[in-house]
Amino acid sequence: MKRYFLLLILTLCYMHLTAQNTASYPTYGGYTEYMQQTASKHKDICRLDTIGTTYKGRLLLCLKITPPLKTATPRPKFFYCAAMHGNELTGAFMLMKMIDSLVVNMQVFADDTLFPEIYICPFANPDGTWAAGDNDVKHSTRFNANLVDLNRNYPDIRAAGDDLSEVRQRETQAFMDYQKKENFNLSCNLHTGSEVFNYPWDSYPSTEATHADDAWFRHIGRTFFGSLNDPDGHYFTTERPDGTVEGGDWYVIYGSRQDWSTYYARCREITLEVSNDYAVKESELEDYWHKIKDALFGMFDAFKYGFYGMVYNAVSSEVLQGVKVEVQDYDRMNSEIFTDAYGYYGRQLLEGTYTISFSKEGFYDTVITAECYNGSAEKLDVYLTPKDVNIRQTEDIKVQISPVPCTDGIYVSSNATADCFVYDSRGVTVAQKRVNGGDNYINLQNIAAGVYTVTLFKDNKEIFSKRIIKN
Ligand SMILES: [Zn+2]
């Protein structure tokens, strides 16, 4: 895990913190003004979204903070929320502190393409938080204005799409629409009432079902726990000695946002219970922030696992949205993900060797076996070949493949720059490479013996195709 930037941000955060002495829970007006002013002061890196409005007309605000772009490469997206239970205020304060730190330090992360775009919504249920009036947080309530618990109001994953929960609340629908639109890779929902890192599933104890990424979630949870600044070692030990628990092993609930985000929105959501008191005393807020901030910032490293990259149309080079990325013999219960509107995908996995298939209707599947290491995610860009490519043979193209039959790999020489694909008998891509000029080696060590087809494309046209045998 790369720590250099963590140290840097901690130093900068400390400098920033020492300039601010007062800590308090905001009024509704103070909160909305804070969000608007932060966005307008930092226009180059911030955008203020309105996720929706509540029954009482209050705003569900989300601040998007992005490192200044030096390249057009998309980044992973991390969504933070707090206080969906309106009386659980400690987390909302922490997210506002996080915003304060990020807006002054974001420049540092411009070159790190795995540093995420960060979306922060400190108050997810303002009608509950300011139930007694815009200037009063002392009488805040868990529920929204209709007395509904928003963390039991999401579509139930046991129903596989059917709606078993209560009438969908306006807040719930707004968050669902926003999360679907933004396609977050990871989200973190801050609650209070305990101190624990809680991960999917909420609907099942681990004896009944675990998420495919169970081990990765536990690894991230223990890393989080290990990064807390608490010399006494008590913080985050309320439920488990290592601070980490599978949701249903703690207690089963249905209709939670964690399960919906993870199952239906194909995100990975963590629930952080950040203080035993629903709202810690204002005089203690800075102490809590000091204890948790390194661990919260350390979670940005969660993207430095597994594979990420872009998926393109091999013929037109356009990015492809909605490509299913599935880890074979691994994914289950909707843990497969899909490329976003930019053709981007990010699949966090603990280190190992994985076989990943990329599929979309109208294209041949591509299946790639590759290794990844913890702390340095592998970039894996993929090109999918459309099934309706026009075939045209061109006289002046000269391509040679050797040796035939092959054992470990093939050399492809072509007098034209072209994209070379190796397909198995089902049309599945097993290897691909851009070739030009002399001998271009394509490693086939990891594929089974059999008959394969080597096909070259240039300027959107197939220019060469030949069968080879691999021993
Ligand atoms: Zn809660």
Helical (H) or strand (E) element with 345: strand 344-347
Pick the CATH number of 307-384 from 2.40.110.10, 3.30.70.100, 3.40.50.720, 2.60.40.1120: 2.60.40.1120
Contact of 115 with 75, CB cutoff 8 Å: yes
pLDDT tens for each residue of 2-18: 444 454 454 454 444 44
Looking at residues 40-63, what average pLDDT do you find?
Answer: 96
Looking at residues 331-342, what average pLDDT do you find?
Answer: 95
Instruction: Please check whether the two domains, 307-384 and 399-470, share a CATH topology.
Output: yes
Cα 275 to ligand 1 centre (Å)? 11
Q: Which residues surround ligand 1, an ion (CB under 5 A)?
A: 85, 88, 191
Cα 208 to ligand 1 centre (Å)? 24
Q: Tell me yes or no: is domain 4-303 CATH 3.40.630.10.
A: yes
Q: Which has more pLDDT, 50 or 158?
A: 50
- Provide the percentage of residues in the chain whose pLDDT is more than 90: 69
pLDDT tens for each residue of 65-79: 998 765 556 889 999
Cα 411 to ligand 1 centre (Å)? 59
User: Which pLDDT score, from 0 to 100, does residue 394 have?
Assistant: 46
The residues, any chain, with a CB within 8 Å of residue 242's CB and separated by 6 or more, are 221, 222, 225
Contact of 262 with 212, CB cutoff 8 Å: no
In this prediction, residue 22 has a pLDDT band, given cuts at 50, 70 and 90, of low
User: Which pLDDT score, from 0 to 100, does residue 109 have?
Assistant: 80
- Provide the percentage of residues in the chain whose pLDDT is more than 70: 91
Helical (H) or strand (E) element with 463: strand 461-470
CATH superfamily of 399-470: Macroglobulin (MG2) domain (2.60.40.1930)
Question: pLDDT averaged over the chain?
Answer: 89
H-helix segments, 299-403: none
Looking at residues 276-291, what average pLDDT do you find?
Answer: 97
User: Which pLDDT score, from 0 to 100, does residue 72 have?
Assistant: 58
> 426 has which bridge partners?
none
Looking at residues 140-168, what average pLDDT do you find?
Answer: 83
Rounded to 5°, angle at Cα 394 from 389 and 395: 165
User: What distance in Å separates the CA atoms of residue 164 and residue 259, rounded to the nearest whole number?
Assistant: 14
User: Which pLDDT score, from 0 to 100, does residue 162 have?
Assistant: 54
Q: What is the 3-state secondary structure (H, E, C) of 391-442?
A: ECCCCCCCEEEECCCECCEEEEEECCCEEEEEECCCCCEEEEEEECCCEEEE
Cα 85 to ligand 1 centre (Å)? 5
Helical (H) or strand (E) element with 352: strand 352-359
Cα 191 to ligand 1 centre (Å)? 4
In this prediction, residue 393 has a pLDDT band, given cuts at 50, 70 and 90, of very low
User: Which pLDDT score, from 0 to 100, does residue 62 have?
Assistant: 98
Neighbours of 186 (CB within 10 A): 23
pLDDT exceeds cutoff 70 at 438: yes
Q: Which one-letter amino acid corresponds to residue 287?
A: D
Q: Is 159 helix (H, G, I), strand (E, B) or coil?
A: helix
Cα 190 to ligand 1 centre (Å)? 8
pLDDT tens for each residue of 177-227: 999 999 999 999 999 999 999 999 999 999 999 999 999 999 999 999 999
Contact of 303 with 291, CB cutoff 8 Å: no
* Domain range annotation of the chain: 4-303, 307-384, 399-470
Cα 89 to ligand 1 centre (Å)? 10
Cα 192 to ligand 1 centre (Å)? 6
Token pair 């599945």 is found at 428
